[in-house]
């Protein structure tokens, strides 16, 4: 059964939708009904898809055609907005506002990537300054890396897929995409839009299934030159070990802190903290999980946040006004429950929420999080924010850095000296001043350090990373 137009099966090989050797059901995360069925490939079909992409990568794809294709795909996607959002709501369980925001961001990523295709260029290298090279001309070109494997997560089935597909196409590559098995329906819509836009056959292969089968096979194909993966640190390590000399971009786990300094504008900061901590049920890599609050304002922050969090409506996001839906699975909810219990055992106090039922975790706020609690170091990926009180710059930075992760951090302060002190001392890929760790316009460089991975997203930076430098030298002679 098609999850989208009536023809797409979820298995796209060499420009055509195929039947596989099986299928799996995609469930509505609110009600548990079947939202769609998606074909799974046989191992031979995975190989055929990668072989097709490798052949396509050897053909010419002019930059003008790349930009036109991306813009036409955005138009095709815009025309099916209602159908895409319906799939998004069903397969994620997120709120309607999250769906609308992510849809619009996806269109923006396609346009930004089209612009990068049009401005992709090299440079002139001044070798003439070196003795013996006075009559030489050295320049560089940016050329496609070739075959890109893109593996996307469940929590952003539109925008993160776009951040992988669109820059890869803008750079002139062929792509084999494996979306998350829990949320593949939006990726199928994206593939259909690219086909409607005239993307040449073979330049996009779509392979749905588990990471242990499909994912493991595609990263080991010898023609793969680049792997972009968003997911857990543990899987990222396995991919890095499996893909040989292929270049990798890995966006992995996180436990993002946000600091509130005594001079912060709380009327500005606290609504942003609530949005960043609980949107998508806390299932965002940059969600505010740890809130490090200066002792002078800690009581006020906790009191005001408890009111804001307690007012959040949670449950079935198909109901009007519900802002926080279920987490992706009951296993994820049970893990969050375990982390909450551990924090409480070590002295934390629940001041809002705390309940867990099946896959629904009530929006939860804790105070008094101990440094040794698992929530201080691990990623909850649930609607949970924990407050720790700090008394100095050094203590705040020490608590923020006391985790193996380093994606982004937020700092609320009016003092530029304080802001830049944190920018120097927080070991993160990004430090956001006067917004939360979750701030992320699509054009900015976005990536982590330590166990949060390496490489940066953002169309300009991804296009550059998904292309190679080719050096061209002209050894000129005086004309006769």
In sequence order, which residues have a C-beta less than 8 Å from that of residue 109 and are 6 or more positions away?
159, 162, 163, 166, 442, 459
Active site residue: 192, 285, 323, 337, which one?
Answer: 285
Nearest to residue 258, comparing CAs of 417, 435, 452, 376? 435
Q: What is the DSSP letter of 200?
A: P
Q: In the Cβ-directed half-sphere of 467, how many Cα atoms lie within 13 Å? A: 25
What does the block give as tokens for 197?
A: 């836009």
Q: What is the number of residues in the chain?
A: 480
Q: At what angle do helices 63-79 and 81-92 cross, to 10 degrees?
A: 80
Active site residue: 91, 102, 116, 251, which one?
Answer: 251
H or E stretch covering 294: strand 290-294
Nearest to residue 437, comparing CAs of 403, 461, 463? 403
**Cα 247 from Cα 250, distance rounded (Å):** 10
Residue 243 known to be catalytic: no
Residue 158 φ then ψ, to 5°:
-105, -65
**Cα 453 from Cα 250, distance rounded (Å):** 5
Determine the distance from the C-alpha atom of residue 174 to the mean position of all C-alpha atoms in its chain, rounded to a whole number: 20
Which residues pair with residue 385 across a beta bridge? 365
Residue 285 known to be catalytic: yes
Exposed/middle/buried for residue 269 (C-beta within 10 Å: 0-12, 13-18, 19+): buried
Residues taking part in catalysis: 251, 285
């Amino acid at each position: 059964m098609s999850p989208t137009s009536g023809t797409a099966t979820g298995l796209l090989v060499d420009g055509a939708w195929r039947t596989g050797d099986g299928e799996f059901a995609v469930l509505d995360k609110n009600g548990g009904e079947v939202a769609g069925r998606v074909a799974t490939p046989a191992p031979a079909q995975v190989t055929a898809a990668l072989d097709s992409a490798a052949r396509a990568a050897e053909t010419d794809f002019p930059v003008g055609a790349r930009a036109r294709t991306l813009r036409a795909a955005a138009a095709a996607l815009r025309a099916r907005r209602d159908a895409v959002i319906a799939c998004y709501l069903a397969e994620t369980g997120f709120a309607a506002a999250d769906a609308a925001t992510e849809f619009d961001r996806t269109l923006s990523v396609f346009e930004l990537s089209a612009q990068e295709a049009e401005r992709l260029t090299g440079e002139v290298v001044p070798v003439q300054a070196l003795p013996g090279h006075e009559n030489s001309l050295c320049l560089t070109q940016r050329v496609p890396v070739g075959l890109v494997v893109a593996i996307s997560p469940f929590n952003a089935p539109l925008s993160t897929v776009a951040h992988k597909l669109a820059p890869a196409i803008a750079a002139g590559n062929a792509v084999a995409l494996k979306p998350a098995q829990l949320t593949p329906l939006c990726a199928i819509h994206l593939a259909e839009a690219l086909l409607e836009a005239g993307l040449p056959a073979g330049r996009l292969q779509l392979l749905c299934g588990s990471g242990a089968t499909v994912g493991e096979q595609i990263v080991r194909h010898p023609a793969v030159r680049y792997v972009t993966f968003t997911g857990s640190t543990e899987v990222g390590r396995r991919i890095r070990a499996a893909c040989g000399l292929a270049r990798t971009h890995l966006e992995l786990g996180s436990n993002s802190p946000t600091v509130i300094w005594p001079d912060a504008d709380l009327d500005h900061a606290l609504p942003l903290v609530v949005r960043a901590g609980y949107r998508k049920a806390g299932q965002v890599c940059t969600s505010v999980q740890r809130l490090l609050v200066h002792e002078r304002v800690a009581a006020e922050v906790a009191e005001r946040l408890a009111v804001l969090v307690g007012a959040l409506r949670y449950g079935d996001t198909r109901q009007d006004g519900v802002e926080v839906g279920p987490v992706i699975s009951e296993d994820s909810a049970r893990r969050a429950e375990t982390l909450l219990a551990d924090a409480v055992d070590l002295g934390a106090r629940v001041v809002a929420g705390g309940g867990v039922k099946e896959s629904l975790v009530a929006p939860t706020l804790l105070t008094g999080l101990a440094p040794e609690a698992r929530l201080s170091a691990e990623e909850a990926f649930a609607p949970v924010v924990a407050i720790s009180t700090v008394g100095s710059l050094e203590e705040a930075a020490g608590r923020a850095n006391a985790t193996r992760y380093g994606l982004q951090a937020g700092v609320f302060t009016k003092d530029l000296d304080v802001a830049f002190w944190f920018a120097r001392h927080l070991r993160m890929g990004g430090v956001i001043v006067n917004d939360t760790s979750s701030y992320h316009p699509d054009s900015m460089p976005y990536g982590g350090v330590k166990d949060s991975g390496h490489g940066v997203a953002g169309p300009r930076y991804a296009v550059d990373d998904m292309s190679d430098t080719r050096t061209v030298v002209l050894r000129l002679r005086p004309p006769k």
